[in-house]
Amino acid sequence: MHLIQRSLSPSSALTAADQITLHAERRQFLKRRWRGIADDGTEFGFDLDSRLTDGCVIFQQDGKDYIVRQVPELVYEVIYQSPAHAALVAWRVGNLHLPAQILADRIHVLHDEAMNQLLASEGWDFSEPEVLFQPLKAIAHAV
């Protein structure tokens, strides 16, 4: 097992054929200590100084880059109908304190029963795609 303390590079310059992937759920990227197994069976232990990012290089061996890839996850997606609709959706979702990723024309929200109930009560059109979910980082009582 290889112990990883930090990424070597934010991305690989090698072709896809020369990259070996370790798949990780979004929550793994939030942890300091965890274990994972790359697609070729190589085992890694992580004791990180800072968070990893999707696509970063964590190890190099025999002309190959080992990269970490975030696994897509199911989210609720609401497309904004107008600026006023965007504000309302963001406000209502914010009141639920659920992780959310705000995009220019839509919002992705954690797939959760509370959000399901909000969607039903508001009657908003929504879809449930699998995406690389990268919610905003919470900052409690920011100044």
Long-range own/partner contacts, residues 95-101 (CB < 8 A, 24 or more apart) = 99/133, 99/135, 99/136, 99/138, 100/135, 100/136, 101/75, 101/133, 101/134, 101/135, 101/136
DSSP state at residue 18: G
- Which residues make beta-bridge pairs with 110? 75
Distance from C-alpha of 25 to C-alpha of 44, rounded to nearest angstrom? 15
Longest dimension (CA), the chain: 56
pTM above 0.85, yes or no: no
Average pLDDT, the chain: 94
Mean pLDDT along residues 133-138: 83
* Domain architecture of the chain: domains with CATH: 2-70 (2.60.260.20), 73-131 (3.30.70.790)
Closest of 51, 30, 62 to residue 38, by C-alpha: 62
Position 142 scores a pLDDT of 46
CA 96, distance to chain mean position in Å, is 19
Query: In whole angstroms, how far apart are CA 8 and each of 50, 57, 83?
Result: 12, 5, 41
DSSP state at residue 95: H
Reported as a single tens digit per residue, the pLDDT across 22-34 is: 999 999 988 999 9
